[in-house]
Structure 1
Amino acid sequence: MRVSVIGTGYLGAVHAAGMAELGFDVIGIDVDAAKVEALSAGHAPFYEPGLEELLARHVGPGGRLRFTTDFAEARGAEVHFLCIGTPQASDSDAADLTFVEAAVRSLAEHLVDQETLVVGKSTVPVGTAARMQDLLTSIAGAGVELAWNPEFLREGFAVEDTLRPDRLVLGVTSDRAEALLRTVYAATIEAGTPVVVSDFATAELVKVSANAFLATKISFINAMSEVCDLAGADVGVLADAIGFDERIGRKFLNAGLGFGGGCLPKDIRAFRARATELGAGETFNFLDEVDRINVARRARVVTLAEELLGDLAGRRIAVLGASFKPKSDDVRDSPALDVASRLVAAGADVRIFDPVAGGTGKRAFPDLTFVSSIDEAAEDAEAVLHLTEWPEFREIDPAVLAKVVATANVIDARNCLDRDAWRAAGWTYRGLGVQ
């Protein structure tokens, strides 16, 4: 079977490579010529473990995977996957669907009078799929059918999540569309992945509701960490204890600096905006508080630095971490770089090290200072801030690092360093909600 993937950003590039790995002939299409050139040479335009290995295996002479800027090359594919970004609108919290609609129009012009299936994977406001089906029909005719198959990729694990997802959601309006998608995902289904078949609206709501729930869980435990700070309790032990309740579970109960990235924050805001449009805005007022709690964690870390150092003007501070999470070079809405920017605004001399995201960080934040090693960041520092939980940072020998810094103060904003070991090495250790 031949498939096309429209959009080769984070979602589309991984999905295209994953489809090739599953045995399909794949054409990836994007309007960004530089991105297409990089992918055609087997280079991922972003860091994602395992992706370049898939590109090396399937791009090139005799390979199953090609990339182009020409939408006409989508003709002849039996299935077309829409993997288009839906950023937050510039003037509101709503999702900007400009790029999705433009991609659908460009694709539809080359599908006139064909019988084919277009499959949306983007995270969109509920009601979008029905509008896109009408748009496809108006341009290409009744033979082009739409389905919605939301993605659930985790950055850092996207290849695994594509090849072995924890569930498949098929939003369809006909038996034909369901049967074709079951054919596409036959190997995945045979391996035991659960399948949920639904209407368009339900499929569109699955991703945003999952993200809203996870964000709420994270902000809840972070709110509890503030109480633990005031009461002298330990939020880690608290999370362990309540996590044994099977109704709650332990996952996503790690208190710390909070969530960021290009998906979770903008998705919950877009969901809240769409709920308001539908007349359910008051019901979801709590998501505003979830968002507020999350952003407030960043200010809390700056406050901890002030408690340790006093006036931050002129203070040298090491920041460990730039990406919003480990195993990624994504710095969109990075809590680490938000904190770094706040420290710089307060007059601090901040040096940042990240094992992978230094380049993307420097491009996105040219006024911040990025260095090439932990020691370079920590040299003569009066405080070390651990802001992204890379394994390299957990493996630091605190006794060795103590010889590099000016003053042995550490703020563990991810609560995953061995605080007993750091204190034993002479460090003043501060975490969030831990004693």
Structure 2
Amino acid sequence: MAHRLTVIGTGYLGATHAACMADLGFEVVGLDTDAAKVDRLAAGDLPFYEPGLEPILRRNLAAGRLRFTTSYDEAAEFGDVHFVCVGTPQKRGEYAADLTYVDAVIEELAPRLHRPCLVVGKSTVPVGTAARLAARLAELAPAGGDAVLAWNPEFLREGYAVEDTLHPDRIVAGVPDDQGAAERAEKVLREIYSSMIGEGVPFIVADYATAELVKVAANAFLATKISFINAMAEVCEAAHADVTKLSLALSYDDRIGGKFLGPGLGFGGGCLPKDIRAFMARAGELGVDQALTFLREVDEINIRRRIRMVDLARELLGGSFAGRTVGVLGAAFKPNSDDVRDSPALDVASTIHAQGGAVTVYDPQAMDNARRAHPELTYGASVQDAARGAHVVLLLTEWRQFRDLDPADLAGVVAERNIVDGRNALDPELWRAAGWTYRALGRP
């Protein structure tokens, strides 16, 4: 008999996991304490933007394989496997991860587990969390040792989450030390992911701590690679070199590769910044903080790119934003997403606003979230709206429609033809030929 799945937490990770698991043929119940979110999902309405996910959600609701609830009783009674997909945000005022939501799931779910089941953590957590939660699960669950915990980290990229869920590049299963429990957990996870394993996706079995570290180590490496090329951009600006050509030349070295080697405004979002900070905090608790001191510089390089972007725009305007109009293209932290958490684009826009600039922002998907996060800014209904009367235009999120802009079209609405390319996404020759002053991070 096929396993019945619950997914606890229906944010970005949980809603995606629930819909995709249902699409693989499993019966799935999504659980969230936010009744409004549950109602939206049950109506087939995604509370965030993710390409390709809404049709999967609606298809599986209609087929009866997927439903949503606010009831822990219902989820515990229904599920054989419970996926924990709640958030682990950065604690206010410190680097460490806030595990309130993860802990709350175990406290609520465990006392309701009366029969054999597997609880599977997918949330990104500091190393050592799974062992602590496993002990609490054993303490609280009426099923005792028949309620087993596994850790199965997620590796979703926003904008590609459906592909990454259904066709991941690897599956990691963190299992308990107890051999019997470990074998049960591995068997169940292999059954759930059998279609992917059948496609040749590597399935790696590890202890809890290693499984927890895979996710944060991957994010730390990606953040380091992004900050490395942006550090090279700082050097290129001082040396009058071109960081885009440097990056291209480096990308042909197969030891380095071109992925995540795009120079520009740096990283943001709800994962990389808070995950590398939580990793540093946990290393400090473990007494190995020196091992990760380089991540502090990775973080600082990333923030410096935003400051440099503001400086470049101000230089183009003769040294002051006062009385000047600035058009900002982009609000999401990356294209194909409406996520504005720690968005470099909005950080730059709000800094310019604070320095006296009249800022108008446009983004194809993130306008509602941007307005909520930064109500002090003005928002346009189109690229032309954002650029109208602008003394400088900033490209801060590399949406395809921004990359494909015609410089002659845009020239008709601006006050002055100044553009700063924060993502090295445009062709400088094309823009300069159309009479624009073109500047970019890390280029002469």
TM-score (norm 2): 0.96
CA offset at residue 116 of structure 1? 0.5
- 1:92 matched residue in structure 2: 94
Matched, 1:343 2:352: yes
Gaps of 5+ in 2: 177-181
CA offset at residue 14 of structure 1? 0.3
CA offset at residue 91 of structure 1? 3.0
Q: How big is each residue's C-alpha offset from its partner over 1:172-197, in whole Å with a ceiling of 9 and x where there is no partner? A: 12111101100000001101111111
Gaps of 5+ in 1: none
- Alignment-mate amino acid for residue 92 of structure 2: S
Q: Output the CA distance in 1 between the equivalents of 2:36 and 2:95.
A: 30
Residue 227 of structure 1 aligns to a residue whose secondary structure is helix
- 2:364 matched residue in structure 1: 355
* Percent of residue pairs identical: 62
2:226 to 218, 230, 243: 218
When the two structures are aligned, how many residues end up with a matched partner? 433
2:167 to 140, 148, 164: 164
Q: Output the CA distance in 2 between the equivalents of 1:142 and 1:194.
A: 29
- 1:183 matched residue in structure 2: 191
- Alignment-mate amino acid for residue 179 of structure 1: K
Q: Output the CA distance in 2 between the equivalents of 1:214 and 1:27.
A: 33
CA offset at residue 245 of structure 1? 1.6
Q: How big is each residue's C-alpha offset from its partner over 1:395-435, in whole Å with a ceiling of 9 and x where there is no partner? A: 11001111110100000000011111001100000011123
- 2:396 matched residue in structure 1: 387
- 2:71 matched residue in structure 1: 70
- 2:47 matched residue in structure 1: 45
Q: Output the CA distance in 2 between the equivalents of 1:191 and 1:63.
A: 27
Q: Output the CA distance in 2 between the equivalents of 1:76 and 1:332.
A: 34
Residue 109 of structure 1 aligns to a residue whose secondary structure is helix
- 2:269 matched residue in structure 1: 261
Q: Output the CA distance in 1 between the equivalents of 2:94 and 2:386.
A: 37
Matched, 1:138 2:147: no
- 1:16 matched residue in structure 2: 18
- 2:121 matched residue in structure 1: 120
2:419 to 410, 414, 423: 410
Matched, 1:298 2:300: no
2:208 to 192, 195, 200: 200
- Alignment-mate amino acid for residue 82 of structure 2: H
Q: Output the CA distance in 2 between the equivalents of 1:394 and 1:92.
A: 37
- Alignment-mate amino acid for residue 295 of structure 1: I
CA offset at residue 76 of structure 1? 3.5
Residue 59 of structure 1 aligns to a residue whose secondary structure is helix
Q: Output the CA distance in 2 between the equivalents of 1:23 and 1:358.
A: 35
CA offset at residue 143 of structure 1? 1.1
Residue 213 of structure 1 aligns to a residue whose secondary structure is helix
Residue 396 of structure 1 aligns to a residue whose secondary structure is coil
- Alignment-mate amino acid for residue 279 of structure 2: F
- Alignment-mate amino acid for residue 333 of structure 1: D
- 2:179 matched residue in structure 1: none
Q: Output the CA distance in 2 between the equivalents of 1:330 and 1:250.
A: 25
CA offset at residue 131 of structure 1? 0.5
Q: Output the CA distance in 1 between the equivalents of 2:106 and 2:380.
A: 43
Q: Output the CA distance in 2 between the equivalents of 1:403 and 1:98.
A: 52
Deviates more, 1:339-348 or 1:74-83: 74-83
Q: Output the CA distance in 1 between the equivalents of 2:78 and 2:400.
A: 45
- Alignment-mate amino acid for residue 119 of structure 1: V
Deviates more, 1:27-36 or 1:303-312: 303-312
CA offset at residue 258 of structure 1? 0.2
Q: How big is each residue's C-alpha offset from its partner over 1:372-395, in whole Å with a ceiling of 9 and x where there is no partner? A: 100011111000000000000011
Residue 198 of structure 1 aligns to a residue whose secondary structure is strand
- 2:150 matched residue in structure 1: 147
- 1:239 matched residue in structure 2: 247
Q: Output the CA distance in 2 between the equivalents of 1:411 and 1:338.
A: 15
Q: How big is each residue's C-alpha offset from its partner over 1:304-339, in whole Å with a ceiling of 9 and x where there is no partner? A: 011100211111000000000000000000000000
Q: Output the CA distance in 2 between the equivalents of 1:24 and 1:92.
A: 40
TM-score (norm 1): 0.98
Deviates more, 1:145-154 or 1:368-377: 368-377
Q: Output the CA distance in 2 between the equivalents of 1:109 and 1:13.
A: 24
Matched, 1:425 2:434: yes
- Alignment-mate amino acid for residue 157 of structure 2: R
Superposed, 1:285-324 pairs within 5 Å as 285-309=293-317, 310-324=319-333
Q: Call closer, same or farther: CA 1:359–1:76 in 2, change over 3 Å.
A: closer
- 1:399 matched residue in structure 2: 408
- Alignment-mate amino acid for residue 369 of structure 2: T
Q: How big is each residue's C-alpha offset from its partner over 1:83-137, in whole Å with a ceiling of 9 and x where there is no partner? A: 010000113100000110001111112103x111000000000000001101111
1:83 to 82, 85, 88: 85
